Chain A
Amino acid sequence: MQARDTAVLSRSQSSIARVVLIFLSVLFLATFLIVPVVSVLGYAFSQGLAVYLEALRAPDTLAAIRLTLTTAAIVVPVNTIFGVAAAWAIAKFDFRGKQFLITLIDLPFSVSPVIAGLVFVLLFGAQGWFGPFFRDQGIQIVYALPGIVLATMLVTFPYVARELIPIMQMQGREAEEAAVSLGAGGWMTFFRVTLPSIRWGLLYGVILCNARAMGEFGAVAVVSGHIRGLTTTMPLQAQVLYDEYDLVGAFAVASLLMLLALLTLIVKTVVEAFGARRRRA
């Protein structure tokens, strides 16, 4: 590895191609990624810190933050349990239909978030299959918290499972089989043998799922109904403020979501560093 690196480096370090390609890469990333991201902070603080904090304290914005936190508090634990269960069944057992299960888990990655919201409107909306039934029970699903939770769940459930499946497949089954044959129960095997070896991957999966849940826009936009202070989550609140030309307000909300994305990225980098060190050891 070391020798190969040196060979590559010695041949390519001095070439003009190297300078041109690095320049192109950085230019591309700056235009499409770095400048827009930095601009979020630029616009959020354009009127100073006091105005920024004031914008975050607006009642509707606080309500949006609360709604987003509530949604994530429901969605993330459920998706985590699903992810661990699905990864256990897929990685530790061989059964017919496994590929179908994996394909189902991948589905939200290629289905538009708008479709993810649409299906729940078709099920629970005023003209939906179960809409009249729940209305008679006095339960509002679409244009209320349950609809937002369902739509967010559909979009974000793959993240924990997708993170865990490859890790658990790579680790094989011998450790768990040994534990069980030595008399450990199922839960004990999971908590004492499996969990310690997947915890970093699990952590990143949960954090990524959380970031996507708090930031989900398309699916939630369809089921939310945009009732200010009631059914607008943080991304929707950013849209509402942006449409009202309240740029500082919109970018203040956006800056919180961006902070979350950056934290997610930092956790990922740390987790990968840990993983690399473990593989070398």
Chain B
Amino acid sequence: MATARGWVSPSVLPGFGMTLGFAGLFLTFIVLIPMAALIIRASSLPLDEFWRIATEPRALASYRLTFGASLIAASLNAVFGFIIAWTLVRYRFPGRRLVDAIIDLPFALPTAVSGIALATVFAPNGWIGALLEPFGIQVAYTWTGVVVALTLIGLPFVVRSVQPALEEVDVSLEEAAESLGASRSMVFRRVILPTVLPSLATGFTLALARAVGEYGSVIFIAGNLPLRTEITPLLIVIKLEQYDYLGAAALGLVMLCVSFVMLLSINALNGWRIRRVAGRR
């Protein structure tokens, strides 16, 4: 039966029609139709009207904050995620397994929990905020607070991407390079970095994609001042609360397009990473 279909390779295993049918139906109702509704609703706007909504000053300010803070957070994660992955792979120290386990916490921790926890801890009278206060550093209700929240939720992506790649690095190559007179920094740049770079880029992009769409952990610490500390997802929520469906749909479409670009980049980076690994074998 399956053989007659042409687009599927023959197999003796049963259940293809049923499983693919169910998965396809589910995805159609839960993903495709809802996303199509957003796209069609937003495109019912005349182009100049769409452009006006998508580029009004409040929206532009929210893009700047959302993408700026996400880029900084993903970069912070790229640097510290690499350091943490390196520490976990190369060093043995007490508590290493515990550190390794809690890296995944942001995956499982509800964003509202990290949101209210960060907002309280970094408030001027909070546990960490009180330590920063004497230096005149205010985190909560500022731009910095947004970066802090986005850093927390993006952390596991870089560590978990880089860790397996670091384990793959051939130590004998490092030793060979060193015995031939290469300095430690040269070994890092010429031997370690090329192997790890595709994974680092993948982790960075995953963290960035997650940060751009993040809502729950940001809105508590951000302060949400229009034009200053208002992220784009929040602006969509505000428009919905004012029953401005078209305005919300227009901004939603802008964000959806960004998500697609991110998704394509992640796929492309993944391809690069796999080719890199295959090329070495």
Task: Mark A residues whose CB is within 8 Å of B.
Answer: 4, 7-9, 12-13, 18, 21-22, 24-26, 28-29, 31-37, 39-40, 42-43, 78, 81-82, 84-86, 88-89, 92-97, 101, 103-115, 118-123, 125-129, 150, 153-154, 157, 173, 176-177, 180-181, 185-186, 189-190, 208, 211-212, 214-218, 221-222, 235-236, 238-239, 242, 247, 250-251, 254, 257-258, 260-262, 264-265, 268-269
Asked, given contacts A24-B80, A104-B31, whether A238 binds B13 with beta carbons under 8 Å apart, the answer is no
Q: Taking A36-B121, A92-B13, A258-B113 as given, write out 18 further A-B residue pairs in contact, using a Cβ cutoff of 8 Å, ordered by the A residue number.
A: A28-B80, A29-B99, A36-B117, A85-B20, A95-B7, A104-B32, A109-B206, A112-B255, A114-B234, A118-B236, A120-B34, A121-B245, A180-B12, A214-B110, A217-B112, A222-B240, A238-B113, A261-B108
Q: Does B180 lie at the interface of the complex (its beta carbon under 8 Å from any beta carbon of A)?
A: no
Q: Does B128 lie at the interface of the complex (its beta carbon under 8 Å from any beta carbon of A)?
A: yes
Asked, given contacts A21-B86, A35-B128, whether A239 binds B112 with beta carbons under 8 Å apart, the answer is yes
Q: Which residue of chain B has its CB nearest to the CB of A153?
A: B30
Q: Is the CB of B110 within 8 A of A111?
A: no
Q: Does B212 lie at the interface of the complex (its beta carbon under 8 Å from any beta carbon of A)?
A: yes
* Chain A nearest Cβ from B152, distance in angstroms: 5
Asked, given contacts A25-B99, A97-B7, A115-B255, whether A8 binds B105 with beta carbons under 8 Å apart, the answer is no
Asked, given contacts A39-B121, A92-B11, A123-B34, whether A157 binds B26 with beta carbons under 8 Å apart, the answer is yes
Q: Is the CB of A123 within 8 A of B37?
A: yes
Q: Is the CB of A33 within 8 A of B102?
A: yes
User: What's the Cα separation between A261 and B41 when bound, in Å?
Assistant: 37
* Chain B nearest Cβ from A234, distance in angstroms: 8
User: What's the Cα separation between A206 and B12 when bound, in Å?
Assistant: 29
Q: Is the CB of B215 within 8 A of A112?
A: yes
Q: Which residue of chain A has its CB nearest to the CB of B184?
A: A17
* Chain B nearest Cβ from A104, distance in angstroms: 5
Q: Is the CB of B171 within 8 A of A7?
A: yes
User: What's the Cα separation between A118 and B246 when bound, in Å?
Assistant: 11
* B residues in contact with A127, CB < 8 Å: 243, 245
User: What's the Cα separation between A38 and B243 when bound, in Å?
Assistant: 39
Those 8 A-B pairs whose CB atoms lie nearest each other, nearest first:
A215-B110, A112-B213, A119-B34, A217-B216, A218-B215, A186-B14, A235-B112, A95-B8
* B residues in contact with A109, CB < 8 Å: 206, 209-210
Q: Is the CB of B215 within 8 A of A113?
A: yes
Chain B interface residue bracket vs A: 35 or more
* Chain B nearest Cβ from A37, distance in angstroms: 7
User: What's the Cα separation between A8 and B215 when bound, in Å?
Assistant: 42
User: What's the Cα separation between A72 and B18 when bound, in Å?
Assistant: 25
* A residues in contact with B255, CB < 8 Å: 111-112, 114-115
* Chain B nearest Cβ from A142, distance in angstroms: 10
Chain B interface, >50% SS class? helix
Q: Which residue of chain B has its CB nearest to the CB of A238?
A: B112
Q: Is the CB of A85 within 8 A of B215?
A: no
Q: Is the CB of A122 within 8 A of B249?
A: yes
Q: Does B84 lie at the interface of the complex (its beta carbon under 8 Å from any beta carbon of A)?
A: yes
Q: Is the CB of A81 within 8 A of B22?
A: yes
* B residues in contact with A31, CB < 8 Å: 128
Asked, given contacts A39-B120, A110-B259, A177-B12, whether A265 binds B210 with beta carbons under 8 Å apart, the answer is no
* A residues in contact with B87, CB < 8 Å: 21-22, 25
* A residues in contact with B110, CB < 8 Å: 211, 214-217, 235, 254, 257-258, 261
Q: Is the CB of A215 within 8 A of B112?
A: yes
User: What's the Cα separation between A84 and B20 when bound, in Å?
Assistant: 11
> B78-133: which residues lie under 8 A (CB-CB) from chain A?
80, 83-84, 86-88, 90-93, 99, 101-121, 126-128
> B143-180: which residues lie under 8 A (CB-CB) from chain A?
148, 151-152, 155, 171-172, 175
Q: Is the CB of A129 within 8 A of B37?
A: yes
**Among B31, B32, B93, B99, which residue has the most Cβ atoms of chain A within 10 A?**
B31
Q: Is the CB of B259 within 8 A of A40?
A: no
User: What's the Cα separation between A235 and B215 when bound, in Å?
Assistant: 13
Q: Does B220 lie at the interface of the complex (its beta carbon under 8 Å from any beta carbon of A)?
A: yes
Can you offer 24 A-B residue contacts whose CB atoms are under 8 A? Answer: A21-B91, A25-B87, A25-B88, A28-B80, A34-B102, A35-B128, A88-B19, A89-B20, A89-B23, A101-B24, A104-B31, A105-B27, A110-B262, A112-B215, A112-B259, A113-B111, A118-B240, A118-B248, A118-B252, A180-B12, A215-B109, A218-B216, A235-B216, A254-B113
Q: Is the CB of A26 within 8 A of B113?
A: no
- Pick the residue among A81, A112, A118 that contacts B214 (CB under 8 A): A112
Asked, given contacts A110-B259, A235-B113, whether A211 binds B108 with beta carbons under 8 Å apart, the answer is yes
Q: Is the CB of B120 within 8 A of A22?
A: no
